Amino acid sequence: MKSLTETLPMNKRLKKALYITLMILVIGFLIPQSYQMPVQGATIKSYAQNSYWAYPWGKSVTHKGVDIFAKKGTLIHAATYGIVIFKGQISMGGNVVLVLGPKWRLHYYAHLDRITTG
């Protein structure tokens, strides 16, 4: 029985593109991550630790995040480094920023007073 590459020969450019894509994916998972508290002055008492999974808020069935409460105007920064892939307004989050971080994880920041990313 012939292998898939023998039946469907790929040209060298396609093989190279697939190899590069695979390497990028692997590297993304190998990048170490470190987290820091994103809200200036917040502590462990600034959020409800039991609200992480399936907390019944609003229209969300599974709430996969931590809501850290602070006074309006409190500075925040990303919890980890990454690439800003979206910033703007949406109906259920208001001003939001979405960051692609290490391990290909998405970090979503919502209900922001204003956005000042680069």
pLDDT digits (tens, 9 = 90+) for 54-84: 555 566 556 667 788 888 888 899 999 899 9
Give, for 84, the enclosing helix (H) or strand (E): strand 83-90
Name, in order, each residue with C-beta under 8 angstroms of 107's C-beta and a sequence gap of 6 or more: 78, 79, 80, 82, 98, 99, 100, 101
Residues 8-33, buried b or exposed e (16+ Cβ, 10 A)?
Answer: eeeeeeeeeeeeeeeeeeeeeeeeee
Residue 27 lies in a domain: no
Residue 111 lies in a domain: yes
Residue 117 lies in a domain: yes
Instruction: Supply the range of the domain harboring residue 86.
Output: 33-45+71-118
Residue 51 lies in a domain: no
pTM comes to 0.69
Total number of domains in the chain: 1
